[in-house]
Chain A
Amino acid sequence: MDKSFGDLKVLDELSFRVDPGERVTLIGPSGSGKTTILRLLMTLETVTPKADPEADGGVVWVEGRPYSHMEKKGRLVPANEKWLRQRRSRVGMVFQQFNLFPNMKVLRNVTEAQVHVAGRSKEEAEAKALSLLDLVGLADKTGEYPSRLSGGQQQRVAIARALAMDPDILLLDEVTSALDPELVADVLAVLRDVAATTSITMLCVTHEMGFARDVSDRVMMFDSGRIVEQGPPEAMFSEPQEARTQDFLRAVLAE
């Protein structure tokens, strides 16, 4: 698939697949297209259309069915909002800037979509929210507004909020980049916990190489919208093949 913003080609004939339950970490310099991939998968961006999707590709597939496109009279056409609404319910996302709803207290941040989108009863949604908030270590903050929480706490609420919708695929977009260094560990601990106890497919953009090494099954190195190199984390971190990867890792690990 391709993705261009105006003349700027962010993703260049990119093609890869992720297996169910696989944990993939996307690394690479800023502007290399990592975040754009997550945003495409969350349908916050659309792939740059191709004239003939069947032949040229440029289609995102999830669970064996077209995702960025829909079938219409036997042909693939860019999906409309109705199709996307139906398909994206399997995908959840945690953002760099948390994006909790400031007008709702912590508990309601986690229950709101459960009630209004997943159609659960209020009791059911609250029970689920409480158990998830307990998982992220914030069971005592349910009655607080997000503005009263630290960045790390807000991000843990955001993780609970995404998990509450039971996604099959969880997208993590630089979830610790906006946090003070001492708050990063708590958030990563929660994510390690999620990775260890669930079979959710995870796509993770991060600069936390230690976390990438521990959690992921595969690491993908991006540059200029292309995959430079990919492989299991041990191989990628200990003996990267490409010069671009070596330079990047040296720079990141020197910090």
Chain B
Amino acid sequence: MDFQAVIESLPRYGEPLLVTVGVTVASAALALVLAFGLGLMTGSRHLAVRTPARVFVEFFRGSSVVVQLFWFAFAMPVVLGIQFDYLIVAGIIALGFNYGAYSSEVVRGAIAAVPKGQLEAATALNLTPLQKLRLVVLPQAWPEMIPSLCAFAIMLLKASALVSVIGVLDITWLAGLLGKQPGQDRLLHYAVVLVIYFVLAWLIWTGMRALERRAKRGLGIEAKVQKGRLAPAVAAGGVD
């Protein structure tokens, strides 16, 4: 195996790495916004609010990401006349919609898990529906969402490799390109991207852990790692 050639070509990974990180961060941001919007809508009491969100979620969860990528990149310009200036934008939107749809279930579930008594207490204090959401529900639901959102963020990072199929030049694309060149070892290049993905995933995980610890402190709970998982939120009872 020719390690020398691989090491010499490592600097070429710089720009594609920025693309991978950029696609992941941008589509994660889009997914997060959608997750909250759709999560609130699918949890709504009103059918007229719930239905369109439910259709959107089921559509994006129920069809292939790869097909969606092709659709946003190549079919939309033809069918709807919407042309993205850069394919990367099509990639970000497809991934963002997809993972937004998935994560919306996390948001909906965490909101639904806030005890009913909390809402009743908020009603007794005459908070408006928006105040209930902002001051009571979301601050309590947020720490519960973080572990699942973290898992989706890591899945999104790995799924970002799919943008190479619509011609976005990320690290997966570069590994394929370099691996085919004379004097290069394809296996080694794929090993390089494997390590890069692993390191990026670890960074996401570490960041999310810190975020969760902070969020739990905001509930007066010291988050301790228990068998690799964070301690569940303390129930209403408290310590007598």
Contact = CB atoms under 8 A, between A and B. Distances in A.
Interface of A: 42-44, 81, 85, 88-89, 91-93, 95, 97-103, 105, 112-113, 116-117, 144-152, 154, 158, 161-162, 165, 180, 183
Given A112-B135, A148-B220, A154 B238 contact: yes
Contacts of A180: 240
Of B126, B128, B221, most buried by chain A (CB within 10 Å of CB) is B126
Which are the 9 A-B pairs with shortest beta-carbon distances?
Answer: A145-B220, A99-B121, A113-B125, A103-B139, A99-B117, A93-B124, A147-B220, A150-B240, A147-B234
17 contacts: A85-B128, A95-B121, A95-B124, A99-B121, A101-B122, A101-B135, A103-B139, A103-B218, A116-B131, A117-B127, A145-B219, A147-B221, A151-B238, A152-B240, A161-B125, A165-B126, A183-B240
A102 B126 contact: no
Given A148-B238, A154-B238, A97 B117 contact: yes
B220 A44 contact: no
Of A89, A99, A112, most buried by chain B (CB within 10 Å of CB) is A99
Interface residues on B, range: 20 to 34
A151 B237 contact: yes
Given A95-B121, A99-B118, A147-B234, A113 B239 contact: no
B124 A42 contact: yes
A197 to B, nearest CB: 22
Contacts of A149: 238-239
Nearest to B135: A112
B89 interface: no
B127 A95 contact: no
Interface string B72-97: 00000000000000000000000000
Contacts of B123: 42-44, 88
Contact of A99 (B120, B131, B139, B221): B120
Contacts of B10: none
Interface in B110-139: 115, 117-118, 120-129, 131, 135-136, 139
A254 to B, nearest CB: 26
Contacts of B128: 85
Given A95-B117, A101-B136, A103-B140, 6 more contacts: A93-B124, A99-B117, A99-B236, A101-B121, A158-B121, A180-B240
B145 to A, nearest CB: 14
B238 A146 contact: yes
Contacts of B234: 102, 147
A93 B117 CA distance: 12
B220 A101 contact: no
Nearest to B236: A97
Nearest to A43: B123
A101 B120 CA distance: 11
Contacts of A85: 126, 128
A113 B220 contact: no
Interface in B197-227: 218-221
Contacts of B131: 116-117
A42 B140 CA distance: 23
Contact of A150 (B118, B126, B221, B238): B238
A117 B219 CA distance: 23
Contacts of B238: 146-151, 154
A98 B240 CA distance: 14
Nearest to A118: B126
Of B124, B218, B238, B239, most buried by chain A (CB within 10 Å of CB) is B124
A103 B219 contact: yes
A104 B33 CA distance: 25
Contacts of A98: 236
Nearest to A89: B126
Contacts of B120: 42, 44, 95, 99
A253 B144 CA distance: 44
B72 to A, nearest CB: 39
B133 to A, nearest CB: 12
B127 A113 contact: yes
A102 B221 CA distance: 9
Of A81, A85, A102, A152, most buried by chain B (CB within 10 Å of CB) is A102
Nearest to A81: B129
Contacts of B124: 42, 44, 88, 91-93, 95, 162
